[in-house]
Structure 1
Amino acid sequence: MQTDVDPRSLIGRKAFDSKGNKLGTVDEVYLDDATGAPEWAAIRTGLFSRDAFVPLEPSELVDGTLRVPFERSLIKDAPDFGVGRHLSPEQELQLYHHYGIDIAAPTDAPPPDRDFGRIAGRDYPDDAP
């Protein structure tokens, strides 16, 4: 995904799957704590549905919409961790595996109390767990 995109500008955009089917609307964007780069989008898949996490790296902005290179069925079957909270490293790993994305295990693992996946546009106190 483009690195110069303000993650907050993604919120509210329509999202479509690899076949052009409407998925829903981007509800939240999760940032990598180490780099601040947008890493995950939570897409509201319907009025009474849950948010589904999709990786932003293989996704792209096309004509003001988020195009996700996965089929709707795979996205709707993604692990459900709820929104509004940090994603743990284990949850991120589960999501990467779900989408078939291989990521290298970090050589210098973060301390166990470090959180990942801050949400764009939210303020966190410096001493947040």
Structure 2
Amino acid sequence: MADAYVLHEIQGSSVWAVDGERLGLVGEVHLDRNTAEPVWITVDLGLFEPEEHYVPLEGARRDGQDIFVNYSRDQVAHSPGANPENPLSPREEGILMDYYSLR
């Protein structure tokens, strides 16, 4: 299980796309229901993208305060919407997993 210290380290980290473009900062961290490990983060893409987008942590790497994900800005920007203030429902998570080809 991820402890509060690890979650605190992840929140506010800079997120970088696979092509090296900065996506934004981590907003929320969502945990797996079974393992309580971080599996999703939300990222605010900036001024012209008013909503946060979910990005999977699968395959991501962390280097200090930076998180490098395996997805492009375009992929993240066009991901299905979900309300990051609430836990992901199994349905929403399934839609996101399909979108990011995680199944």
How many residue pairs match? The answer is 100
When Rg is computed on C-alpha atoms for both structures, the one with the higher figure is 1
What does residue 7 of structure 1 align with?
7
| TM-score (norm: length of structure 1) | 0.71
Q: CA deviation at 1:34?
A: 1.7
CA contact (8 A) 2:60 2:70 kept: yes
Q: CA deviation at 1:83?
A: 1.4
What does residue 40 of structure 1 align with?
40
Kindly, what percent of the aligned residue pairs are identical?
29
Q: CA deviation at 1:59?
A: 1.0
| TM-score (norm: length of structure 2) | 0.88
CA contact (8 A) 2:26 2:44 kept: yes
Q: Aligned letter for 2:55?
A: V
1:57-115 per-residue CA deviation (whole Å, 9 max, x = no partner) reads: 2111024201011111011111111211010111111111111111xxxxxxxxxxxxx
More strand as a share of residues: 2
More helix as a share of residues: 2
| Structural RMSD (CA) | 1.7
Consecutive unaligned residues in structure 2, runs of 5 or more: none
